[in-house]
């Protein structure tokens, strides 16, 4: 095998890898975007009709579909410009090197302890709250338009920010690493049909930002005091405080640590079988 053939093989592998990465991010975005799913269903139906018209010799419908296929892409770009922009923004928010700070076990437990302490008080007093924790996707776009704080995480500070009549009460609070970065943040609301109509703007905003990024959104209902989480475009409603605590500890674990734990469990299982 010559050097030139090895170089050509590497180029082809890189080419295929880029295509697969593009498809992966597109499909990942589609899974969270109802409008884009409906769009691709419509495209699939048009293509099926085109094939049927060619097989059955349907001249009129085939002629119309030719025009749709020819000018359709331009119309789709114009009509679905917000959705396309959202996908591109999501790609831009991705941090190739991951979270800006990987928390130690002690830092992670302290952070969750302070947050759950605040949640316990807020839910008992039926004080609404929205706390968003950044992970690998950057939340800087939302931070820039909110009130900068950059303070240590403490239950007292969290409670005071969401206390009624506080100017920052209605917005969302953003946590980066082990610091409160900003408060009063405004997030896009979700258009998902899966969310109940009884839930208000705070829940829709939490779900919306979890659809656009990989963050963890924590919601305290102002009406009922119930706790909920929004993760990866899914809303987990009416959780207990212990359920929230365990889920936070699990979701905040570094990916490498999870892989190590899984390998250790496999090794232990193999040793036991031996």
Whether the CB-CB separation of 228 and 235 falls below 8 Å is answered with: yes
Q: What is the DSSP track for 87-103?
A: HHHHHHHB-TT--SSPP
Residues 6+ apart with CB under 8 A from 145: 185, 186
pTM for the model stands at 0.64
pLDDT one-digit tens code per residue, 10-42: 888 898 888 887 777 666 666 655 566 677 777
The architecture in CATH of the region 105-256 reads: 3-Layer(aba) Sandwich (3.40)
Q: What is the C-alpha separation between 91 and 89, in angstroms, rounded? A: 5
Residues 6+ apart with CB under 8 A from 269: none
pLDDT one-digit tens code per residue, 219-254: 999 989 999 999 988 999 999 999 999 999 999 987
Residue range(s) of every CATH 3.40.1700.10 domain in the chain: 105-256
Q: What is the C-alpha separation between 69 and 50, in angstroms, rounded? A: 9
**157-164 average pLDDT score:** 93
């Amino acid at each position: 095998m010559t050097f030139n053939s090895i170089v050509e093989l590497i180029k082809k592998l890189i080419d295929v890898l880029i295509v697969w990465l593009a498809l992966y991010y597109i499909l990942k975005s589609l899974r969270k975007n109802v409008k884009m799913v409906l769009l691709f269903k419509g495209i699939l139906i048009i293509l099926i009709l085109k094939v049927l018209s060619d097989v059955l010799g349907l001249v009129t419908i085939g002629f119309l579909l030719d025009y749709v296929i020819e000018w359709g892409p331009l119309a789709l770009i114009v009509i679905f410009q917000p959705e396309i922009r959202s996908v591109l923004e999501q790609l831009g928010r991705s941090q190739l090197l991951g979270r800006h700070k990987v928390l130690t076990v002690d830092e992670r437990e302290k952070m969750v302890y302070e947050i759950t302490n605040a949640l316990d008080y807020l839910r008992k007093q039926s004080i609404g709250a929205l706390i968003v924790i950044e992970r690998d996707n950057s939340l800087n776009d939302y931070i820039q338009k909110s009130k900068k704080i950059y303070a240590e995480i403490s239950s007292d500070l969290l409670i005071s920010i969401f206390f009624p009549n506080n100017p920052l009460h209605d917005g969302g609070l953003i946590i980066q690493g082990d610091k409160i970065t900003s408060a009063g943040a405004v997030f896009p609301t979700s258009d998902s049909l899966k969310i109940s109509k009884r839930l208000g703007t705070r829940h829709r905003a939490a779900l919306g930002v979890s659809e656009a990024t990989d963050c963890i959104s924590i919601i305290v209902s102002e009406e009922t005091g119930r706790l909920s989480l929004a993760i990866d475009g899914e809303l987990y409603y009416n959780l207990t405080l212990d359920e929230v605590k365990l889920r936070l500890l699990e979701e905040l674990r570094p990916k490498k640590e999870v892989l190590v734990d899984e390998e250790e469990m496999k090794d232990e299982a193999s040793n036991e079988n031996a």
